Structure 1
Amino acid sequence: MDDGTDDGPTWSIASLAEEFGVTLRTIRHYEDVGLITPGRRGTTRVFHARDRIRLRLILRGKRLGFSLPEIRTIVNMYDEQPGEAGQLQYLLDQIEVRRAELDQLRRDIDETMEELAHVEDRCREDLAGLARG
């Protein structure tokens, strides 16, 4: 991190990558798709506090299972109408959708585990029958 002059502290792409445990390529991708917009000093990317906050939000959204378009909507709402209240309502709606998806996935996994146990039991019974003769 350097102290910057007029715009407050700034970070290099390498320092942000290290801080957040991501690759340089990941950060460049988020820039390419317009999620973050670092400044430039010549050919060097200069990330400001706003970029750092947005990167934190992007990575949190990814951990929660949101797509990049969903994350874009959420982080952009903060700066646009309907503002923070709209952002929070949208996020709550998306959390509800994501939770429903995960609940369905859990049910699907539980059902698959039961089916596997049933098939395993049948295989063991058949194998024991073959061994008996």
Structure 2
Amino acid sequence: MKQPNRTPERADGREPREPREYSIGELARELDITTRTIRFYEDIGLLTPARRGQTRIYSPADRVRLKLILRGKRLGLSLAESRELIDLYNPGTDNNQTQLRALLGKIHEKRSLLEQQLLDIRVMQQELDEAEQRCLNAMQKIHNK
């Protein structure tokens, strides 16, 4: 009886290393996104997988890049901003300080924007409260006539 294909266990008892290649379906399942999303990122040049015929083959670096794109999205970064930050990655040159400084700048920008939006929301709520009270007062005057 043939044994099912399994990744061999490592002699040191640790989990086996991650595969060196990923299919589009594997990445989509792992990251809980659609294959269409991955193809879109490829179409706009954020990902450049290798190809074997029509099959896309993603490397561990492609996987990391995709995870960074998704993290940037969660932080509110545009795809252009994510591309800019990812493209700053240059291992060995400055310990990625340039990339980290740029990311900190984006974080500060997003935080500042959110703080302004919160202030705008509070002002809008106050204006709505005042408008509501004016309406209620006007209705009360009409009712009392």
> TM class by shorter-chain length?
0.7 to 0.9
Q: Deviations over 1:74-97 (max 9, x none)?
A: 111113766611000111111111
Helix, strand or coil: the match of 1:11? coil
Q: Given the two structures, how large is their TM-score scaled by the length of structure 1?
A: 0.87
Q: Which residue of 1 aligns with 2:57?
A: 46
Contact preservation (8 Å) 1:77, 1:86: yes
Sort the Cα spacing of 1:102 and 1:27 in 2 relative to 1 into closer, same or farther, 3 A. Answer: same
Aligned length: 127
Q: Which residue of 1 aligns with 2:141?
A: 129
Helix, strand or coil: the match of 1:10? coil
Unaligned runs of 5+ in 2: 1-6, 8-18
1:64 aligns with one of 75, 80, 99 = 75
RMSD in angstroms over aligned alpha carbons? 1.7
Unaligned runs of 5+ in 1: none
What is the CA distance between 1:44 and its match in structure 2?
Answer: 1.0
Q: Given the two structures, how large is their TM-score scaled by the length of structure 2?
A: 0.80
Counterpart code for 1:28: R
Decide which moves more: 9-18 or 105-114: 9-18
Contact preservation (8 Å) 1:9, 1:48: yes
What is the identity percentage for the equivalent residue pairs of Structure 1 and Structure 2? 43
Contact preservation (8 Å) 1:77, 1:83: no
Q: Which has the higher helix share?
A: 1
1:18 aligns with one of 29, 35, 48 = 29
